[in-house]
Each structure stands twice: as C-alpha cells, then as structure tokens.
Amino acid sequence: MIDAAMLGVLLATISVISLVIGLHYEVLRACIRFLPAVSHARRRRVVILILVILCTHAVEICLFAFGYYVLLRFDGYGAITGFVEITTLLDHAYYSAMVYTTVGFGDVYPTGPIRFMTGMEALTGLVMITWSASFTFLEMQRDWPANRS
C-alpha cells in the first residue's frame, strides 16, 4: 500500500520529470529553428549548441534539486545523508548533479521514500543526456558529410 509520503514523492517525481522533458523538447526545437540563423559557420553553431545543451541540463538538474529541497523540508519523505550535511538548495543541486549524470553516490545517499525520485532522476538524466548526444550528432552530421576529406 502507498502511504502519503510515497504518494507525495511519486507526484513530485512525475511533475519534475514532465517539466524536464518539456523543457528539453522546447530547447532542442528552438535550436532547430534558430541555430541556422545565428551563424553560418559550422564550428560556431556546434559550440553554441553545446553551450545551450549544457545550460539546459543545468536547469534540469536544478528542477530536480528544487524537488528534493521542497520535499525534504517535511517529515516522512526521507533524507539525503552521508559525510556531508545536505541543507541548502546548492547542496541539493550538488546531489542532483551526481544523480542526473549517473556519477553515483560517494559522500551522500538517499534514505526513505525520496529514493524513488533519485532512481527516476538517474533514468531521466540518462535519457536526456542521450537525447542531447543524438541531437548533436544529427546536427553535426547535417553539416559534416562523410565524404568530405
């Protein structure tokens, strides 16, 4: 049976993942429209694309961090514990970056229902990073044909 804390984590996780996917989609869609207009130089377009993607991932990490920060203010949702005390929004962003990039746990780890959000963030981060890599590959392939010497 799902208790109130688990339901809260489930709803928060679905909300954050929905925001992340929507943001990622819209940013990549905007890149398709605006990158060709920004520059005709291939290198400049690729650099701009990479910078935009990195900033997008940073915002997505912050969305998850905010989710952790809000949920963990209430009793019953679990904790993020370890060698370092996680209290500030920046601490939660550090934790979120470790999870999103699937670097893994070292000095901090989740306990309680919040573990569900952690697992889903790792999966979401993997998908978003792969989506970005695929998009970048397709953009580069469009500009850099294989038959060039």
With beta carbons less than 8 A apart as the criterion, state whether 49 and 41 touch.
no
In a domain, residue 143? The reply is no
Number of independent structural domains in the chain: 1
Q: pLDDT truncated to tens, each residue of the chain (149 aa)?
A: 779 999 999 999 999 999 999 999 999 999 999 888 876 777 888 899 999 999 999 999 999 999 999 999 999 999 999 888 888 999 999 999 999 998 877 889 999 999 999 999 999 999 999 999 999 998 888 766 655 54
Which stretches within 39-149 are classed as H helix? Answer: 42-71, 89-100, 114-143
What pLDDT shows up at residue 26?
98
What pLDDT shows up at residue 103?
86
b/e per residue 89-121 (b: at least 16 CB within 10 A): eebbbbbbbbbbeeeeeeebbbebbbebbbebb
With beta carbons less than 8 A apart as the criterion, state whether 95 and 86 touch.
yes
pTM (2 decimals)? 0.91
Domain that holds residue 20: 4-135
CATH number, residue 62? 1.10.287
In a domain, residue 149? The reply is no
